[in-house]
Chains A and B, each alone.
Chain A
Amino acid sequence: MEGRNDETPDRETLSLTKLLPCRELQIKLLTTLFGKRGDMTVPALFVYGHTATGKSAVINSVLKTHKLPHVLVNCVECYSSGFLYEAVLCALYTCQGSQKSDAPVRCDNMNDFVRLFRQTCVNLDLLNETVYIVLDKAERLREMDANILPAFLRLQELVDGNVCVIMLSEIVWEKFQCGTGFQEPYVVHFPDYNKDELLRILMRSAPAEFSEDLYQMYLSLVLSVFHIVCRNLSELQHLAAINFKKYIEPIKNGEATESDNRKLWKNFEPHLKKALQTVYLREVSSTQWERMLEESDMGKMITQQGLSSRTHVELPYYSKYLLIAAYLASYNPARSDKKFFSKHSDKKKKPKVVRKQERTNNHVLGPKPFPLDRLMAVFYAIVEGKVAPTANIFMQITSLVSVHLLAQVAGDDQIDVPKYKCLVSFDFIKSVARTVNFDVVRYLYDFV
């Protein structure tokens, strides 16, 4: 290995490494594996690695710069096997730049695919060259017919030609194995970028009007906040792009100069922290965020538009009580109902201390199902005033189910006592209870 590093790589490889930094080893491995045009190569290549580690980019640009006949297909687009076959066959025509035959390609099974593929290769004069089929998001192949994955893996043998199938995925190869097994592909791993490499790649999008040092400082600040949480290059790129304007604001206003790192950081840090909670989670969209950055009082805007907007739903009065009752029934054990809701219970009796320790927290285990009777009993215990059990009340229960605030878990109709589960979060129910001035925490077993 060492001996070969001092050899001058050819022009194409050089331009590739310039285009795709930090991927020299992978590019070298792939180019040597592909070899010369006429050479046989491995029948199947499985490339895996995290999101945005340059899997598609490296493969595509290696194939493109060496001008190898190749076909790119995304398996997400091909939701049925027929589409997959037809996409490969059609792309084979277009990749050679030749006119497609007039009749549309029809192919709905593997047998026809192999036959037509061989025919196409003969037609296009590709017999002496390796044809590459790149299947992006290959994990989807597992959900298709069981014969597709093994057949693609041994396509070289089935077609009896020079074909290499390249599969790209984020999932490790072991998860693909099933049935009686198949011809194992050559597995190539694309490792993640480390912090320095990320910095180097992000530096490529440095703006021209500012010095490189400034942008590098900015990037290292962004990375210091986000790198613990997120290693996805495209996410970081996006975050770096939309927050830069805020960072240079003091410079534009004349409050600071480019070398005032401390001042810039002090101005910028709270925004980054806020971005983690909002833009990173897509609570606010990027355009909203950019608009907010221009206005000064962004903190208020976020609390109005961001997080709270999701936990705020306008409901009818009785629906609110029904939802609260459902929440209480879901998260409280049935034996505690008497204590909480019975009007005549003597308050002197207190739960024993020993029992309190052994009980498990329902807010960790999740909601329990409850019958309709219990829901109505709790509802009548907490609602103020007299409410008749009209059709309207029962209608509201089913409509709560239809908006997925409740879920029906057993019993198909209203008559044989259906069971329900409450699907809302604690924060949500607190805000609902606040609107009707009901202290929900006082009634919850976990918090008493």
Chain B
Amino acid sequence: MMTKKGKKNKVATSESVSFVEDTNELRSLGKTVRDLSNISIISLCQSVLKQQLTKGLPTQRHTNNEPLSVQGFDQEYRQLLDLVRRTATSGESNSVLVIGPRGSGKTTVMKNVIAKLWSDEQIQENLLQVHLNGLLQTDDRIALTEITRQLKLENTLDDKVFGSFSETLQFLLEALKSGDQSSKPILFILDEFDLFTHHKNQTLLYNLFDVAQSAQAPVCVIGITCRLDVVELLEKRVKSRFSHRQIHLFNNQTFQDYVIIFKNLLTLDTQFPDQTYASQWNRHVERISRDPTVLDLLQQHFTYTKDVRALQQLLMYPVCQLCDSSPTLSVSDFVESRKLITMDSKSAMLHGVSILELCLIIAMKHMTEIYEGEPFNFEMVYSEYSKFAQRKSSMQVFEKAVVLKAFEHLIHLELVKTVDGAGSRVQKEYRLMQMLVHETQIMEALQKYPQCPTDVRQWAASSLAS
């Protein structure tokens, strides 16, 4: 598969000697195992880590020991578990909203709850689940067919659902109404709950909450959303049927927790086939997590966002770089990864525009500075540009049509946009525009611009050049 070279790695200066030891140990370990099976242990380790970075940690690790408390949602988890269990065992109807920002672990907590419930055999037999997602079920008709499909009701056949919208609704409601406390409980999980409130008349939500309110088949409605004001989106009649039980999941972990999450994401668990390698690897991760450069990097990332998904993204690049010739995570890869992620995209795009386009951007920057954000049109930009090109620079003066083409390219890149979306009524030279690049971005891009003429740079610096 992968070729392995005996050549010793050059080690980046920031790495201490221990990493070199790590490298050799892990490599020799990898070698012995590789001889036995034909898949290299390092690539096995890599695929396990990749799995952890995309799907999150395997759930059973949360349930039996520490990592869950690290996430800090212990109480919320128990509350939710208790609620669903009551529906599943004693036929109680409930409704709850789980609210938290993106990437705060709402779905993960929910998954853990279900996994925990599933370990109980009686509940597993008894409880029915319906998973809905506001992104997929964009209207009530689709949502209803999806519910009937997931409940495998008798008007379905091989995943096909029969009947019109009203028939399906009536059928479903009757099925739910005919039940009582003794019938099988149903767990409804509505992901992206706020999108369900945009449905016409909120029929689905009304009916679900109504069933949860009245003594019909026991249901538990769990809405997962990232909007804090989601209750205000509900209609009055829907709101009054909702139990107003809310569970908030906020990212309130400290930096210490963050480092522990970092370690957890990279460690191999007890399921890994080669335990000697795994313990060796985990020691290596432990050492990496104490490296000052990595800690500094994590601190920077932490102040930027506490989102675990962002952390997973940061770790993806170093993990991807693992291979037979470099079996360890190197600090320089973390630095590289952070550089890739935090790149300012607009400055990067400005780096690639031609000199003529750069001149136009500088002219627009001057216009917005002088006229304090008033919109401008192409003619103004052109006259500003030609003032510069004729008087100050040694550059050739391009004719209007060529400049207009450059200007349109900038519009296409959406660095400039029209103030009023319409356009056909006005000639394109006179359409009012606004710039969407900040001047600091322009100055930063100018610093990095390859072979930028000096006069252009001087012009950019002096805003009152006329």
Contact = CB atoms under 8 A, between A and B. Distances in A.
Determine if chain A interacts with chain B.
yes
Contact of A172 (B9, B349, B412): B349
A228 B402 contact: no
Nearest to A162: B54
B402 A3 contact: no
Interface residues of A, number: 75
A277 B396 CA distance: 13
B405 interface: yes
A76 to B, nearest CB: 14
A280 interface: yes
Contacts of B402: 229, 276-277, 280-281
A191 B414 CA distance: 17
Contact of B341 (A29, A49, A109, A187): A187
B341 A170 contact: no
B15 to A, nearest CB: 10
A394 to B, nearest CB: 21
Interface in A1-52: 1-4, 6-8, 10, 29, 32-33, 35-36, 38-43, 48-50
B16 interface: no
Contacts of B333: 1
A228 B320 contact: no
Interface stretch (B78-86, B162-170, B255-263, B353-361): B353-361
Interface stretch (B90-98, B237-245, B280-288, B422-430): B422-430
Interface string B370-393: 000000010110010000000000
B138 interface: yes
Nearest to A139: B414
B10 interface: yes
A187 to B, nearest CB: 7
B71 interface: no
Nearest to A108: B142
From B11, B55, B395, name the one whose CB has the most chain A CB atoms within 10 angstroms.
Answer: B55
From B11, B133, B412, name the one whose CB has the most chain A CB atoms within 10 angstroms.
Answer: B133
Given A35-B46, A174-B346, 10 more contacts: A7-B5, A8-B3, A36-B43, A43-B54, A53-B352, A110-B138, A150-B135, A173-B345, A280-B402, A364-B377
A381 B346 CA distance: 54
A175 interface: yes
Interface string A162-203: 000000001111110000111110111101101100000000
B28 interface: no
B351 interface: yes
Given A42-B313, A48-B345, A191-B352, A171 B414 contact: yes
Contacts of A336: none
B379 A35 contact: no
B345 A174 contact: yes
Interface string A345-377: 000000000000000000111110000000000
From A154, A172, A231, name the one whose CB has the most chain B CB atoms within 10 angstroms.
Answer: A172
B405 A109 contact: no
Contact of A3 (B12, B138, B310): B12
8 contacts: A8-B3, A40-B55, A110-B135, A147-B138, A170-B412, A364-B379, A365-B430, A409-B425
Given A42-B316, A184-B313, A366 B377 contact: yes
Contacts of B348: 172, 189, 191
A320 B345 CA distance: 50
A111 B316 contact: no
A182 to B, nearest CB: 7
A248 interface: no
Interface in B42-84: 43, 46-47, 50-51, 53-55
A7 B348 CA distance: 30
Contact of A151 (B50, B135, B336, B412): B135
Contact of B54 (A1, A40, A174, A184): A40
Contact of A111 (B142, B343, B426): B142
B129 interface: no
A409 B345 CA distance: 40
A49 to B, nearest CB: 7
Contact of B345 (A35, A154, A189): A189
Interface in B313-328: 313, 316-317, 320-321, 323, 325-326
Contact of A363 (B133, B379, B406, B414): B379
A436 to B, nearest CB: 23
B152 interface: no
Contacts of A252: none
Given A7-B325, A32-B321, A186 B380 contact: no
A230 interface: yes
A364 B352 contact: no
Interface in B392-422: 395-396, 398-399, 401-402, 405-406, 412-414
Contact of A230 (B159, B332, B354): B354
Interface in A137-153: 145, 147, 150-151
Contact of B136 (A6, A41, A110): A110
Nearest to A273: B396
Contacts of A423: 426-427
B138 A229 contact: no
Contacts, number: 193
Given A39-B50, A174-B345, A363-B379, A228 B326 contact: no
B169 to A, nearest CB: 17
B137 interface: yes
A227 interface: yes
Contacts of B398: 229, 276
A332 interface: no
Interface of A: 1-4, 6-8, 10, 29, 32-33, 35-36, 38-43, 48-50, 53, 109-111, 114-115, 145, 147, 150-151, 154, 156-158, 170-175, 180-184, 186-189, 191-192, 194-195, 227-231, 276-277, 280-281, 283, 363-367, 407, 409, 421, 423, 425
B47 A38 contact: yes
B195 A147 contact: yes
Contact of A109 (B142, B317, B427): B142
Given A35-B46, A110-B138, A187-B345, A367 B194 contact: no
Contacts of A32: 320-321
A155 B47 CA distance: 20
B144 to A, nearest CB: 11
B226 interface: yes
Contact of B426 (A50, A180, A276, A366): A366
A19 B309 CA distance: 35
Nearest to B145: A111
A358 B434 CA distance: 25
Contacts of B346: 172, 174
B430 A367 contact: yes
A174 to B, nearest CB: 7
A192 B350 CA distance: 10
B427 A2 contact: no
A41 B332 CA distance: 22
B355 A115 contact: no
B102 A111 contact: no
A110 B102 CA distance: 21
Contacts of A188: 340
B46 A39 contact: yes
